[in-house]
Amino acid sequence: MTLDQIIAELQKKTWVDLTHTVTESIPIFSAFEGVLQRKTLFNVEEHGFFAQAVTFATQTGTHIDAPGHFVAGKRYLDRIDNKELLLPLVVIHKQDAVARDPDYRLSVDDILAFEREHGEIPSGCFDQVFLVLILNNQKVFTSRSKFVI
């Protein structure tokens, strides 16, 4: 299969944008308060192009938590090749649980129940499989008091 054929095939698929736009009002972890800064450096009218400098903590907005973010000795994002980011996807839906308890936390029992229904999550999934936890937090994402700890 040629690269053009691969691209054409991928373009036929359904793509879901899970990102949030980083703005001055984006909820951020309370320890990062005031970290988001945006400064216009150049504009089209005066300089012929637009450019900004944006400063914010790495955990702001939609981001990838590399294995090293949680496990000592594992790789950080700068050590993960882009090719490694095209992986099988495991999605665990817990919207109903979060609706009942906004402070809901995924448990081992949840994962075991998921595996009974859908099959075992591969060993070492943080190195080999993307794991997405669907909580419906986007419904409270813009509410600083409900979303941010």
Show which residues are catalytic: 69
Residue pair 29/149 in contact by the 8 Å Cβ criterion:
yes
First to last CA, the chain: 48
CA–CA distance from 104 to each of 7, 84, 115, 134, 136 (Å)? 39, 30, 19, 12, 12
Residue pair 95/40 in contact by the 8 Å Cβ criterion:
no
Alpha helices by DSSP H, listed for 74-120, are: 95-100, 108-118
Q: List the structure tokens of 101.
A: 């308890």
At 133, is the secondary structure helix, strand, or coil? strand
At 78, is the secondary structure helix, strand, or coil? helix
